[in-house]
Chains A and B, each alone.
Chain A
C-alpha cells in the first residue's frame, strides 16, 4: 500500500512545526534545560510519537502500527548510544551548555536529511536486490560480535578522519564566538569550535545510522514506517540528551544494552 504524497507533506510540516515550537520555547526561556524540563519535553515527544502511531493504526491498520512502534522503540533505544557520544564530543570541545542546544538543533536537522537519504537508498537497494537484506543481517551480527569482544572505551576524536579533515582543510578559530558556527576574523571566515563539533555530531550520526537503519529493516521494509519511526525517534533526541546526559551515572548498563559498550 503506497502512502499519499499529502501524508508525507503533512508529516514533514508536523515535524518542522514541532521543532520550531520547541526551539521558540527554548529561546524564550533563555537558559539551560533543567532535568525536570528535559523530562517533560521528552515525555511530550514520546506522546506526540504515540499519537502519530495511533494515526498509523487508523490509516494503515494494526500490523503497520505495531511495526511503527517496534521501529520507534528500536531507534529510540539505539539513540541513547548517540547521546553518550554527544556527551563525549561536547566535553572534548568544551562546548558551553547554551551552545550545546544550538549544535543539537542543527545536528538533528542535519540527521533528518542524511537519514532520509540513507533510508531512500536502503529501500531502493532492498526492493531491487533482495539479497542486500542478508548483507545487512551479516553486518549487524558482525557489529554485535565486535561489540561483545572488542575493547571498551571512549572514541578518540582527536585523530579521527573528520577531525583531521577539519584541521587540515578548514580554518578554525581558537575560541568560541558565542553560539556562532562561523566567525569573521580579520578578512577571512573561519569555523568556530562549535561549528567543528556540529560537523563531528553529524558525521557520528551518519556512522550510527549505518547499523540502526538496517536494524529497522529487519522489522519492516515499508519505507514510510522505516522513515517515520526513525524521524520520530531522533526529533526527541535533544531533550532526551539533557535528561540522559545528567543521569548517565545512574543508568550504568544502558549503554551496554544499546549495543555500544
Chain B
C-alpha cells in the first residue's frame, strides 16, 4: 500500500498469498492438534 506506486503487486498474487497463509495455518493446526491428541492418548 505504501510502496504500491513503485512496486505494484498484482491482485492474483495478493489473493494467492492470503490463501496460502490460510491453507498453511489450517494444515499446521490440524497436524499440531493430531500430534497433541496422540501424545495424550498413547494407545
| Residues of chain A having any CB pair with chain B under 8 Å | 63, 66-67, 69-70, 73-74, 77, 133-134, 136-138, 140-141, 214, 217-220, 249-254, 256-257
Residues of B contacting A138 in the complex (Cβ-Cβ under 8 angstroms)? 2
Q: Cβ of A70 and Cβ of B2 under 8 Å apart?
A: no
Known contacts: A217-B1, A250-B33, A257-B25. The answer to whether A66 contacts B18 by CB under 8 A is no
Residues of B contacting A137 in the complex (Cβ-Cβ under 8 angstroms)? 1-2, 4
Q: Cβ of B14 and Cβ of A70 under 8 Å apart?
A: yes
Distance, CA A66 to CA B11, complexed state (A): 7
Known contacts: A69-B15, A137-B1. The answer to whether A253 contacts B21 by CB under 8 A is no
Distance, CA A42 to CA B22, complexed state (A): 17
Query: Could you write out 17 A-B pairs with CB less than 8 Å apart?
Result: A66-B15, A67-B11, A69-B15, A70-B11, A70-B14, A70-B15, A73-B15, A73-B19, A133-B4, A134-B1, A134-B2, A140-B1, A214-B1, A218-B14, A253-B28, A253-B29, A254-B25
Q: Label chain A's interface by main secondary structure.
A: helix
Residues of A contacting B22 in the complex (Cβ-Cβ under 8 angstroms)? 73, 77, 254, 257
Residues of A contacting B28 in the complex (Cβ-Cβ under 8 angstroms)? 253
Closest Cβ–Cβ distance, residue B40 to chain A (whole Å): 12
Distance, CA A253 to CA B26, complexed state (A): 7
Known contacts: A256-B25, A257-B22. The answer to whether A136 contacts B11 by CB under 8 A is no
